[in-house]
Amino acid sequence: MSDVALTRSQVADLVDHTLLRPEATTDDVKALIDEARSLGVLAVCVSPSMLPIKAPGLVTAAVVGFPSGKHHSLVKGAEARLAVDQGAQEIDMVIDIGAAVAGDFNAVLADVLTVREAVGDRTVLKVILETAALTDEAIVESCRAAERAGANFVKTSTGFHPAGGATVEAVRLMAQTVGGRIGVKASGGIRTAQAALDMIAAGATRLGLSGTRAVLDGLPD
């Protein structure tokens, strides 16, 4: 358990308030944006089909190749480019998890590089590894590949994989690997204030939360 002491607003500044359920409607997205504003978070993260959205004062993020990662790299690139054209400032892409499992980290690098080239240098690119499905070695090598390909963040999880979501151990390993050169986003299964603080203590510089209010309500003002 972490003894990191952060206020509600300090944690809110790290949060991507997220809605990626397949059944989400435009009304749900509007409610997400309203809640994000009331909570004072940094960003909202939505499915690309929900774009464009009106969220002044908030960063808009969209997912790509989600949730399986089993899309052709060129499709991921086109999806990312379209999302950026429709107002996304940040892209959270899923790697080909099978390539990482098989140890083909050149394929992981090429996948990320295709999306980076599609969106240009100004777009923040977060690379989802699905760490619960990977060995420690595969996590390390995938982080290295993502960094070499120009990612701004490596991210633990989609939150949709049966193997599970973020763990403190995975976040710590990712943070040690990237050494502060790029960010680390913990996402998937973070439902309490203590869990969020533990992830931050392990090295997370961004949090992906769907139950954001419950997490922030557990923190001091």
Q: Per the residue annotation, which of 16, 76, 126, 155 is the catalytic one?
A: 155
Question: In degrees, to the nearest 5, what angle opens at C-alpha 98 toward C-alphas 198 and 166?
Answer: 10
Is the pLDDT confidence value at 3 over 90? no
Q: Are strands 153-155 and 183-187 parallel, antiparallel or unpaired?
A: parallel
CA nearest to 83, candidates 96, 92, 72, 70 = 92
Q: How far is CA 126 from the centre of its chain?
A: 6
In the annotation, is 92 catalytic? yes
pTM metric for this prediction: 0.97
In the annotation, is 54 catalytic? no
Per-residue pLDDT tens for 179-217?
A: 999 999 999 999 999 999 999 999 999 999 999 999 999
Q: Per the residue annotation, which of 16, 76, 96, 185 is the catalytic one?
A: 185
In the annotation, is 70 catalytic? no
Confidence of residue 5 (pLDDT cuts 50, 70, 90): confident
Type and span of the H or E element at 93: strand 90-94
Q: Per the residue annotation, which of 92, 96, 111, 198 is the catalytic one?
A: 92
Residue 84, SS3 per DSSP: helix
State how far the alpha carbon of 61 is from the alpha carbons of 17, 19, 89, in Å.
10, 11, 6
